[in-house]
Structure formats: C-alpha cells, structure tokens
Chains A and B, each alone.
Chain A
C-alpha cells in the first residue's frame, strides 16, 4: 500500500534554536494504518502532530501528504489546505455552536450537511444530540463529537493528540475501544499521540517511540516488546529489573560480551519451575499489588532484585529465567 505520510529529516526548534524539539525525524505511514506516537511529555510528540497538520513550520526537512510536499524549507501549505483532521487534547469544540453546527463546520457548501452530520452522529453513537451545545455534554460525549467533527470532511489523515488524557480510567478504557472501532470502520489513516503505552497497545497497529525529539524505534507492539532497542523502550511495556554480568553469573549465566547491559522483565522470572538458569534465594519483602505480588530479594553479590508472581511466596524459593527472556542493550542505549 502507498504511503500517505512521508517525513524526511524533519527538525524543529523553539527559542531561536535553543530548544531542539524535533531532531532529524524520518517517518512514513501507509494508507489505512493506525499509528501511535508514544513519548513522555517534552518528547516532541505534540510538536510533531502540529508540524504534520501545518500549525507549525519546520526548521528543516520535508513533510509530504499523499505525495504532495506540504512543508519544507522552501514551501508551506497552510493547515486549511492540507485535508488533515486533528482531535485536540481539550477537544476544542466551538462553544457557541451546537453539535450539529460543530460537525457541519468543516463541510463544503456542495455537501449535504444534514446527511453527513447524521452519518457521523450514528458513527459515534450520538444520534439525537444535534441541538445540544458542547457544555451540555459529558467529557466522553465531547470527545466523540470532536472525533465526528474531524472525520466529517473525510480527511486523508486523522491526528489525535492525547485523546484520552482528560478522561477518568473507566471511561478511558471504554472510549478507546469505541474509537478503535470507529477508526477501523472508516478506514481512515490515523496517528495518535499519547504518553500512555496501554492506550497505544489498545488502538495502534504500529508504535513509534519518541524521546527528546528523536525517533527511538518504530514497529509492531510485539516487536517493541520482544526486541526493544533500548532500556527506555523496554520499560514502557512493563517493569524491568536491571542486571549486570555479575548478577547474571549468580544464576549460572556467563557472558563475556563487551559494552553490554542486561535486563529481565519482572514478570518473566520463573519461580519454583525448571528454567535455563536458576538460583535459590531468600525473599526479603513481599508487597501485594492487587493482581500480583512484588518481591524483593538480595543476590549473593549483594544486588537487590525485584520480581513478581501471581501467588504469595514465603521465605526460600528458586527463581530463574530462560535465555530468550534476557534483554541486552549496548551501554549507550541503556
């Protein structure tokens, strides 16, 4: 399938070049894909969506949408001519317009507004809310109107900026499933940015990890989980125990690779069952975390190690791991 978005060597800074927010990013998104951009606050993910949508101008690099160059050092197509939809973090619904008028806002005069708005309201399950004003809607309903409004003009690309950050946990889970269904139903190419890996896992086909304005890794959830490029990417998906060569040697795993650091996910230790490498340890402390227990132990070389189990463990146990669960990184990526 062809690329709907292509970004080449994109950079953007603020404060006269002092704050480099996007640093030489290359990216391509295929038509129909749902991509999540994950990063901490300040990683540049919102700036990236603003650059794609035309709300910011790049310092260098190019952005092409549907094979048309929309931004470079020489050219710039304003946001109103890009046919890109954006759902804002605060929804940005026009407070003085009804739900109908909000959704119809982006439609051209030639379109049958009534039919299209009705289609959109059915899609987001808000039929009958046409005449309400944004302040008469709940947070979740506002979110769905914002999505309907962005989808109404049939954008080539839909961007969602932290769409769930203003919602409580219960609503968040329900709404991200709904949005996943809506995006898949419409077939629109979607990019959404989030700091929450769980949101990304629930919605996206592929995830892009941003850190300090740089693209760290892109891939499917499985790839990022199994083969994280560095410690930061690995830690996004679950808690990790860092291990040195000496720590691994305590389990009988000997490695002489230079310039390497290691880690194992805390839920991947095997307890009292056969594994490639194991060690008998004494549990120092156990904390009940709701759906699992978190244990702390001290290895023979005095390193403190954390691991989890589904059942409560007492005193002396044997813990171990299989070779394929060891995550290894070069020291600079650690």
Chain B
C-alpha cells in the first residue's frame, strides 16, 4: 500500500501541488511561529503574570464569553424569529436595520456609550433637563463591556438564525401544528433544535470577535488576553510572554472551532434549503404587534441609533478641529490599504480555492482548508506571529549585509506595509473565501469539467468560464474584506508602518488621548463604509429568498 501511495505521489504531483503547498506554508507561518516559540520558554515576567494577572485574564474572558453568549443569543434569536414569523409594522425596514449594528465596530460603540454615561455626558445633560440632577451610571466595567459587545455583535446570530427560520421552518411548523403542538411548543421542540447548528455557527463568530476585541476592552479597562498580549509586548517589552498568552488564546479558539464542528456533526439538515418551504407570516393582534415591535427595536435603538446619534452629535461639535489635510491623508491611506488588502486577499482566496482543485494530490486538497482558519485567530495573535519571523528575517539581512560588505542597514521588512498586508491577508482570508466558495458551489463542477474536456487548460477555464460566473461572489468578497480592514484595530496597531495611519487607529488614538469627541468623525467615516456591505448582504438574502 505504501508503495502504491508513493507511485500516486509521483503521478499526481503537478505544479499546482507545489503552489498549493507554498501558500499553505506562507499562511501557516504565524501559527507555526507561535508554536515553535513556545519551546524557547516564557519571558521573565511570565511567572509574575501567572501569579497576579493571568487569573484576571481568564476570569474576564470567561465572563465575556458567557455574558455575550447569553445576550447575543437573546437579541439575535428573538429578533430573527419575530421578523421571520410575525407580520409586524415596518417589518421589512426592521429586517435590515437589525443588521446595521454590525457596521459600527464594537470599540466605537464603546466610545459612544462611554461618552453618553460619562461625567457631563449626554445622559447627564438629558437627566438635568428633566429635573434629575444626581443620576450617575458607571458602564466602564466588565458588565458594560458585555452589554456593548453584545449589542454590537448580535447580528451575526440574527443573520444565521433568520436564514434558517425563513427557509427551513415552513413545512416543519405546519407538520407540528397538524400533530397538535402549540406555537410555543413548536418553537422550542422543532424550530429551535433545527436551527441550532446555524445559531451556534453565528455564536462562534460572535465569540471569535469577543476574544479578538482590543479597543473596547482597553478603553473600559477590562484586562483580557488580547489586552494582555499588547501589554506584554509593548509595555513590558517581552515578546516571549506575548507568545505564551497568544498560545493560550489560540488554544481556546481551536477548542471553540472544534466544538462548533462537533455540534454540527452529521446534521445535514443545516444546508438542506428548499425554496418552496418558506415560512409564512402570522398575523397577530395590534397589542401583540406593538409588543413584538418593542422587542425588535431594543437592539436596533441601543446597538445602532443611540451610538450613531452620539457620534453625529460629537462630529458636529468637533468637525472644525478634526477636518484637516492630515485627516484626508489618513482617510486616503485607510482606503488605499483597504483596497490593496481586499485585492490581495481576494486573489489569495481564489488561489486557495483553485490551486488545490488543480492539484491532484488528495491530501493537499484537505490541508488547504486550514488556511481559512485565520479569521478565527485574534488579530493580536496574528500580529505577534507575523512580527517575530519578519524581525528574524531582518536580523539575518542585517547580519549578511554587515558580514559581506561591512555596511550597517536598518530593518528592511519589519515596519513596512508588506508585513501589514501579509497579516491582513491571513486574518481576512476566510472573509473572502466563504462568499466565493458559496458561489462556486452553486455553479457546480460540471461547467469547468466541460471546458477542460473541450481542450482548455486550468487557467483558460478559470478566466473563460469560472471567473465570469463568480463575479458577484468576488465583488462581494472584495467589499467585505475592504470594510473589515477599514474597521480593524489590534493588528493594525501592532504592525502599521510608522508613517502610515488609518481611520480606525486615529479614532483609537483620539479616544486614548481623552479626546473622545474628536474620535467621532473618523468613526463615522468607518461606519459609512460599513453600511455598504450590509446592504449587499441583505440583498443577497433577499435574492436567495
């Protein structure tokens, strides 16, 4: 058998096998770096960290995971069920309004709420106008953080739950009702268990984002693994301690991924969409309609309208100070970096999708899928994993140039935009990969097989047949990555070149310098670009309908 496998290896290896392997290795470098660095031992502060703050990191992260799970599940599932099942006023408008909180990065929502509840903030002013002078509510703690992250991230669950409710519950509810079950019984015994894999899928995305968050946690003074990584690297100057924290965080993330795969297991009903099975809306009394309207409005008002209004108000107050030529340069740099990243990420996603297909080695086809794990890995961890090898490479270059020509040079790779782009591509590969893959699955493989049987090779088949048909997926992927890069904070903070800035970093810098009102305008620019893909996402759902 071994002999046979060796024969296949020779027969089935082609240039695409080598390219596939090269990309897989490039993308696996940050994870491999963290893994191998573990063996060189922790830094000097590790024992101090374990003794005094690690418990805090763990406890806070656990609280965040539990709290955000409960709240996002409540907001996401309840709103998805109401807009899918009941005929309520402004339902169509609410359907896409419920996705909008995703357009505001969680750290920006955090800034807005900090300002609202701050001493002399909007709430206090409002209370004074209605005659309450001593109202004070502190949100800058872990509970405030849980609430803000949940309000900002629940749409992940809403989107996946709504798709399942719409397309899979119709016949099942009819069958359940005919068997004598009540509406409530049907929801808990049939609808919810059927939707569970999709809802948990959405929840995992929420938790990845929670663990990835740096801006909101930092601003609220809550110590988490991500803030710990920053602290170890930049304040304590100990990369090896940052690596150890990254490894723990990675371990948690992989457990989450494993649990998600496990619960999805053999539940093939997750994907069995049937267009003739769309859930019919139920008409209820006006009183009930108002109640449902209130429930759906809560996350929209608190997750989108209030923070957005606060930001608009602040922008109005500060635009004269903020708008300057340097602001436009930062905006242009942000757009430029996002554009370049989106281009390279989509290009890499296409390579990851096609090279393994064109290669004939079965083992490589499976291995290539690990490259899309990047989205699960927190930005700070990727940054650590990218920075260490780039510094090592730089040290080699410096040494080689010194040994050969006795010339002293500075860092060639580290601190350049190349490193930042490389890290972004790893981080957002899955964002580009998923919509393109979904489109590709819809097209099926017989078209490309036809083309090959008609004498066209892989590249020509790709450009003549596949790319024109994948157009919408490719454009969608490009926009999604573009917007994610506009919002990205932790990875950008660590890896951005000294002379380059982004709107997200600028907003963070203003907030860190206690100039929270000034952070509103760059934040609004980010939100404006974030709304575009949400409209596209909603269109996609409507088209599928």
Binding site for B on A (CB under 8 A): 53-55, 57, 59-60, 73-76, 78-86, 88-90, 92, 94-96, 105-106, 108, 149-150, 153
Binding site for A on B (CB under 8 A): 4, 7-8, 10-12, 360, 444, 446-447, 449-457, 464-465, 468-469
Residue of B8, B455, B465 touching A73 (CB-CB under 8 A): B8
The 4 A-B residue pairs whose C-beta atoms are closest, nearest first, are: A106-B454, A92-B446, A92-B450, A79-B452
Q: Using Cβ atoms and an 8 Å threshold, which residues of chain B touch A59?
A: 4
Q: Are B11 and A76 in contact (CB under 8 A)?
A: yes
Q: Using Cβ atoms and an 8 Å threshold, which residues of chain B touch A73?
A: 4, 7-8, 11
Q: Are B450 and A80 in contact (CB under 8 A)?
A: no
- Given A76-B360, A88-B446, also A105-B11 (CB < 8 A): no
Q: Using Cβ atoms and an 8 Å threshold, which residues of chain B touch A90?
A: 444, 446
Contacts A79-B449, A92-B449 given; 5 further ones with Cβ under 8 A?
Answer: A57-B8, A74-B10, A80-B455, A80-B456, A106-B455
Question: Does more than half of chain B's interface fall in helix, strand or loop, or is it mixed?
Answer: helix
Assembly CA distance A54 to B8 (angstroms): 15
Q: Are B10 and A80 in contact (CB under 8 A)?
A: no
Q: Using Cβ atoms and an 8 Å threshold, which residues of chain A touch B446?
A: 88-90, 92
Write the nearest CB–CB distance from B2 to chain A, whole angstroms.
13
Q: Using Cβ atoms and an 8 Å threshold, which residues of chain A touch B453?
A: 53-55, 79-80, 82, 84-86, 106, 150
Write the nearest CB–CB distance from B461 to chain A, whole angstroms.
8
Q: Using Cβ atoms and an 8 Å threshold, which residues of chain A touch B469?
A: 95-96
Q: Using Cβ atoms and an 8 Å threshold, which residues of chain A touch B8?
A: 57, 73
Q: Using Cβ atoms and an 8 Å threshold, which residues of chain B touch A108?
A: 455
- Given A79-B449, A94-B465, also A153-B7 (CB < 8 A): no
Assembly CA distance A92 to B469 (angstroms): 13
Q: Which of A88, A92, A95 has the most CB of B within 10 A?
A: A92
A72 nearest in chain B by CB position: B11
Q: Are A75 and B455 in contact (CB under 8 A)?
A: no
- Given A73-B7, A153-B455, also A94-B12 (CB < 8 A): no
B450 nearest in chain A by CB position: A92
Assembly CA distance A10 to B459 (angstroms): 30
Q: Using Cβ atoms and an 8 Å threshold, which residues of chain B touch A95?
A: 469
- Given A92-B446, A95-B469, also A153-B12 (CB < 8 A): no
- Given A73-B11, A80-B457, also A94-B452 (CB < 8 A): no
Write the nearest CB–CB distance from A163 to chain B, whole angstroms.
13
- Given A76-B11, A94-B465, also A57-B454 (CB < 8 A): no
The total of Cβ contacts below 8 Å across the A-B interface reads 75
Q: Using Cβ atoms and an 8 Å threshold, which residues of chain B touch A83?
A: 455
Q: Are A94 and B447 in contact (CB under 8 A)?
A: yes
Write the nearest CB–CB distance from A28 to chain B, whole angstroms.
22
Assembly CA distance A53 to B464 (angstroms): 21
Write the nearest CB–CB distance from A102 to chain B, whole angstroms.
9
Q: Which of A74, A85, A105, A150 has the most CB of B within 10 A?
A: A105
Assembly CA distance A53 to B456 (angstroms): 14
Q: Are A105 and B7 in contact (CB under 8 A)?
A: no
Q: Using Cβ atoms and an 8 Å threshold, which residues of chain A touch B4?
A: 59-60, 73
Assembly CA distance A280 to B450 (angstroms): 60
Q: Are B452 and A80 in contact (CB under 8 A)?
A: yes
Assembly CA distance A149 to B446 (angstroms): 14
Q: Are A55 and B11 in contact (CB under 8 A)?
A: no
Write the nearest CB–CB distance from A25 to chain B, whole angstroms.
18
Q: Are A75 and B11 in contact (CB under 8 A)?
A: yes
- Given A73-B8, A96-B469, also A88-B450 (CB < 8 A): yes
Q: Are A92 and B447 in contact (CB under 8 A)?
A: yes
Q: Are A57 and B455 in contact (CB under 8 A)?
A: no
Write the nearest CB–CB distance from A109 to chain B, whole angstroms.
11
Q: Using Cβ atoms and an 8 Å threshold, which residues of chain A touch B12?
A: 57, 76
Can you name 30 A-B residue pairings with CB atoms under 8 Å? A53-B453, A54-B453, A55-B452, A55-B453, A57-B11, A60-B4, A73-B4, A73-B7, A74-B7, A75-B11, A76-B11, A79-B449, A81-B455, A82-B453, A84-B453, A85-B454, A86-B449, A86-B450, A88-B446, A88-B450, A89-B446, A90-B446, A95-B469, A96-B468, A105-B451, A105-B454, A106-B454, A108-B455, A149-B454, A153-B454
Assembly CA distance A37 to B469 (angstroms): 33
Assembly CA distance A297 to B181 (angstroms): 49
Write the nearest CB–CB distance from B267 to chain A, whole angstroms.
20
Q: Using Cβ atoms and an 8 Å threshold, which residues of chain A touch B451?
A: 94, 105
Assembly CA distance A200 to B3 (angstroms): 41
B3 nearest in chain A by CB position: A73
Assembly CA distance A84 to B11 (angstroms): 21
- Given A57-B11, A76-B12, A96-B469, also A88-B455 (CB < 8 A): no
Write the nearest CB–CB distance from B444 to chain A, whole angstroms.
8
Q: Using Cβ atoms and an 8 Å threshold, which residues of chain B touch A86?
A: 449-450, 453
- Given A75-B11, A76-B360, A96-B468, also A88-B449 (CB < 8 A): yes
Q: Which of A60, A79, A85, A95 has the most CB of B within 10 A?
A: A79
Q: Are B11 and A74 in contact (CB under 8 A)?
A: yes
Q: Using Cβ atoms and an 8 Å threshold, which residues of chain B touch A54?
A: 452-453
Q: Which of A81, A82, A96, A149 has the most CB of B within 10 A?
A: A96
- Given A78-B452, A80-B453, also A57-B360 (CB < 8 A): yes
Q: Using Cβ atoms and an 8 Å threshold, which residues of chain A touch B444?
A: 90
Assembly CA distance A83 to B456 (angstroms): 11
B454 nearest in chain A by CB position: A106
Assembly CA distance A11 to B201 (angstroms): 40
